[in-house]
């Protein structure tokens, strides 16, 4: 729950001081670009990618600031329960992971570039079933692919990063075919934008957006793309 997340962060602050509890453990070296990528497809046609990397507030916030992203919606994927609620997913019993559906224009940003952002600043892909203060399979690192090409590129990139020992530990990110994506409740959408002073956002998610700006300056968009829930374009 939202209050529980804030409480966890405040407790961590009392214990460990001001070190960001959810800061991403960066790679040992700058991430290389994927050796393979997905073809752009028809001109002007949007593609869909789905990523899971901990609490969806931060994942959504990062992708909302990437040029070429048409929409980024928080939701649930990877489980068996249809139309799950946040409470059900949070129990860990549904098999779903907090995820973000990203619709993007491949003429502006490729799937491979989104993968690079995902592994660089969105989360730590070496952490199993957790990110920062959040624990459980609902916070696992996962990529849900929407085409055979996406799966091929994602799996090849993970192998490429592991072979190059870019991270200090092996990547645990699971790649699987997307069966269904269920948008989360409206109050979860654009959460980092609507609640920038929430302690959880300040400590865990704002630094990710800053890292995006610093590491991918040419991709960074200062004006986030908001969901329909907040009256933005999607």
Mean pLDDT for back-to-back runs of 10 residues, the chain (234 residues): 42 32 56 94 89 98 98 98 97 97 97 98 97 96 98 98 96 98 98 97 97 96 81 36
Q: In angstroms, rounded to a whole number, what is the distance separating the alpha carbons of residues 161 and 163?
A: 5
User: What sign for the dihedral angle of Cα 104, 107, 112, 117?
Assistant: negative
Q: In angstroms, rounded to a whole number, what is the distance separating the alpha carbons of residues 53 and 218?
A: 23
Q: Which structural domains are found in the chain, ordered by start? A: 2-217 (3.30.1060.10)
Strands 141-145 and 174-177: parallel
The pLDDT assigned to 97 comes to 98
DSSP structure string for 205-220? IHHHHHHHHHH-TTTB
Query: DSSP state, 106?
Result: T
Q: What is the largest CA-CA distance in the chain?
A: 53
The pLDDT assigned to 6 comes to 42
40-61 burial by CB neighbour count: b if 16+ within 10 A, else e?
A: eeeeeebbbbbbbbbbbbbbbb
Query: DSSP state, 187?
Result: G
The pLDDT assigned to 18 comes to 27
The pLDDT assigned to 2 comes to 42
> Which tokens sit at 14?
């009392």
Whether 11 sits among the annotated catalytic residues: the reply is no
Q: Which of 31, 38, 55, 122 is catalytic?
A: 55
The pLDDT assigned to 42 comes to 76
């Amino acid at each position: 729950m939202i209050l529980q997340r804030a409480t966890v962060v405040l407790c961590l602050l009392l214990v460990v001081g001001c070190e960001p509890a959810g800061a991403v453990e960066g790679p040992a070296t700058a991430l290389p670009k994927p050796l393979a990528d997905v073809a752009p497809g028809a001109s002007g046609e949007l593609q869909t990618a789905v990523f899971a990397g901990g609490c969806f507030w931060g994942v959504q916030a990062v992708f909302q600031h990437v040029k070429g992203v048409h929409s980024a919606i928080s939701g649930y994927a990877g489980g068996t329960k249809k139309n799950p609620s946040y409470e059900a997913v949070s129990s860990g019993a549904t098999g779903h992971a907090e995820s973000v559906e990203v619709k993007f224009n491949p003429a502006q940003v490729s799937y491979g570039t989104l993968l690079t952002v995902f592994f660089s600043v969105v989360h730590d892909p070496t952490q199993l079933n957790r990110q920062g203060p959040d624990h459980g399979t609902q916070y696992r690192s996962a990529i849900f692919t929407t085409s055979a090409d996406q799966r091929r590129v994602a799996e090849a990139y993970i192998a490429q990063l592991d072979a190059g020992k870019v991270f200090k530990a092996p990547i645990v990110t699971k790649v699987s075919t997307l069966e269904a994506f269920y948008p989360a409740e409206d109050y979860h959408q654009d959460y980092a934008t609507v609640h920038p002073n929430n302690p959880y956002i300040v400590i865990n998610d704002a630094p990710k957006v800053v890292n995006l700006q610093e590491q991918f300056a040419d991709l960074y968009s200062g004006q986030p793309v908001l969901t329909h829930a907040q009256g933005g374009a999607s």
